[in-house]
Amino acid sequence: MTLRERLDADVKEALRARAAGRLRLSVLRMALAAVQTAEIDARRPLGEEETAAVIERELRQRLDAMADLAGKGRPDAEQQLRAEADILRSYLPEPLTADALEALARQAVAEVGATSVAQMGRVMAVLLPRCRGRADGGAAAAVVRRLLQAGPGA
């Protein structure tokens, strides 16, 4: 079942749950609307990775809003955003652990044969497709930079 099909099925399930699934239904409808908008913009159905990227963007919006609300005396709104973020997270692939990200980075460095930070772009070109949607690009870049600065065999 594709991510889009799963969203559609879960919207129907949330509709059947009525009051119990109200928040879930609202979040899923917003996510589905964002996916449909992206499909209209692209003038074609989105692939799995593109659909996941749209959901990730929706999640990031919730997290940014939570950060803006932090310490402003709005625990109710912050709690709702946290619940929405949790719902959206359930549709994204499991994030990579720091150890798994480092292992992928070491493998990419070895494949490219990189020995200096000047070759970081080539390493990132190999690494990013492998961790897309599962790790932040900035975190991946930091790991690669650390590995390349440490030198070979580190």
Is 34 exposed, middle or buried (CB count within 10 Å of its CB: 0-12, 13-18, 19+)?
middle
Nearest to 143 by CA among 112, 109, 111, 102: 102
Kindly provide the b/e burial profile for residues 77-103, where b requires at least 16 CB atoms within 10 angstroms of the residue's own CB.
Answer: ebebbeebbebbeebeeeebeeeebbe
pLDDT surpasses 70 at 129 = yes
Q: How far apart are the first and last CA of the chain?
A: 42
98-150: what fold?
Arc Repressor Mutant, subunit A (1.10.10)
What is the number of residues in the chain? 154
Provide the whole-model pTM: 0.72
State pLDDT tens for residues 71-82. 788 888 888 999
Decide if 3-89 and 98-150 have a common fold. Answer: no
At residue 17, the pLDDT reads 85
All structural domains of the chain with their residue ranges: 3-89, 98-150
CA 107 to CA 125: how far, in whole Å? 13
CA 15 to CA 20: how far, in whole Å? 9
CB 144 within 8 A of CB 109: yes
At residue 136, the pLDDT reads 78
Predicted confidence band of residue 138 (pLDDT cuts 50, 70, 90): confident
CA 130 to CA 79: how far, in whole Å? 33
Q: What is the mean pLDDT of the chain?
A: 88
Domain 3-89 has CATH 3.50.50.60: no
